[in-house]
Structure 1
């Protein structure tokens, strides 16, 4: 996973001026937290907080948030951390595979990042959530990359032109590939004037069934899946859910301790 800090720091410099702001996506995540963890307030651990927008929105909703981010994207969160009343926001610029935290949390969240690394890496993180961070009655909410959509994007190419008025200063190209054997997507980007300086993120995708297998031995169990605005228990899959799942590149896995 040596590519992680460089990829997200560089793309953060491309997109941060435009995207480091709280949007409806952040508020939706806060609503999901309330639906699955209860009204609270809760102590919340957010892993891989990126620009810190969701962490700030969660804190402003009254929760006490500890947000961990390895890259310098966390620098954007400094502006949010100064105004989070009525809750609190603590920023930790460290690797969440190594960080030591002195308390447990009623909720652990990981938005738009699970799947970086190998299956063994995911299990190592899941074990930390269960054994070190999550309270016995707590809940973990984790975005999981959906293989059905990423497979459909195999070979897609995108050209993004600059839009300075919105904060996008760079002309960028993107190519997405998907390996059906390893169920892994590779998302490659480069600046128009630097075609020899490509950077890629490698994303392991999991169907709900694959995720259930991954969870074995981690101390966590899958209790619900949220796709778009719909939630269901994995055992109650019925006609219509499969079509809904194919529409979204991610779904939220709701996990609890065994």
Structure 2
């Protein structure tokens, strides 16, 4: 996973001026925390792969005590948010969440838009840390999972993105998406028009809800519910849910500690 720090640092440099801000997406994520936790009382929240820190800041502004962990240079953008998080608080750690040591447990652990980096063994190792080290017994973990149905449909797609300096986008970029049906992995490749020989890619392992349930075996976590778009359901098929899974490139997995887990 040596590519992770470089990919997100480079793309953060391209897009940070435009995207390092709190938007409705961040506020919707806070609403999901409250909905799946069952209340809006202040609690301890851990956000993994926190990027620019916008969602972490919005969570703190809702009253929570937030610890955010981000390995790439995107974490440098979060300093501006840490100064304005009342009535809660925000601490940003520029560290690898596979190695970081954190005191205490958390009522909520979030991983927005990033799960699937690395192998199945890597995912299990992270999930085991969430279940065994970080989550309180009655806590909830919220994890965005890449949806293979949509990513497979994007195989071979290419995009040309022109600069929009009025919005903070200053680079002319190209993107190509491919999907490996054997490993169920999406590969998202980017390059700058000024240097087309230097290409960077992110690789995201995609999981159906059934595959995710199998992945969770032995991690101390179970799949409680999934949220697809605006619909929350049990992790079994229900009327309309297969169509939603084909429209959304990711779904939110709601995870809880396995009953009887010490």
C-alpha separation in 1, matches of 2:188 and 2:238: 32
CA shift digits 1:114-151 (9 cap, x unpaired):
00000000000000000000000000000000000000
Q: Which residue of 1 is the match for residue 8 of structure 2?
A: 8
Is 2:243 the partner of 1:247?
no
Q: Which residue of 2 is the match for residue 54 of structure 1?
A: 55
Q: Which residue of 2 is the match for residue 65 of structure 1?
A: 66
C-alpha separation in 2, matches of 1:10 and 1:111: 19
Q: Which residue of 1 is the match for residue 256 of structure 2?
A: 256
RMSD: 0.5
CA shift digits 1:59-88 (9 cap, x unpaired):
000000000000110111100000000000
Q: Which residue of 1 is the match for residue 172 of structure 2?
A: 171
Deviation at residue 245 of structure 1 after TM alignment: 1.1
C-alpha separation in 2, matches of 1:99 and 1:39: 27
Q: Which runs of 5+ in 2 are unaligned?
A: none
Deviation at residue 239 of structure 1 after TM alignment: 2.2
Q: Which runs of 5+ in 1 are unaligned?
A: none
Number of matched pairs: 257
Is 2:189 the partner of 1:188?
yes
Q: Which residue of 1 is the match for residue 100 of structure 2?
A: 99
Q: Which residue of 2 is the match for residue 45 of structure 1?
A: 46
CA shift digits 1:192-224 (9 cap, x unpaired):
011110000000000001000000000000000
Deviation at residue 42 of structure 1 after TM alignment: 1.0
CA shift digits 1:141-180 (9 cap, x unpaired):
0000000000000000000000000000000000000001
Q: Which residue of 2 is the match for residue 206 of structure 1?
A: 207
Q: Which runs of 4+ in 1 moved over 4 A?
A: none
C-alpha separation in 1, matches of 2:100 and 2:63: 25
Greater CA deviation, 153-162 or 37-46?
A: 37-46
Q: Which residue of 2 is the match for residue 157 of structure 1?
A: 158
C-alpha separation in 2, matches of 1:41 and 1:81: 17
SS in 2 for 1:35: helix
C-alpha separation in 1, matches of 2:49 and 2:11: 15
Q: Which residue of 1 is the match for residue 87 of structure 2?
A: 86
C-alpha separation in 2, matches of 1:31 and 1:238: 24
Alignment TM-score, normalising by the size of structure 1: 0.99
Deviation at residue 39 of structure 1 after TM alignment: 1.5
Is 2:25 the partner of 1:25?
yes
Alignment TM-score, normalising by the size of structure 2: 0.97
SS in 2 for 1:95: coil
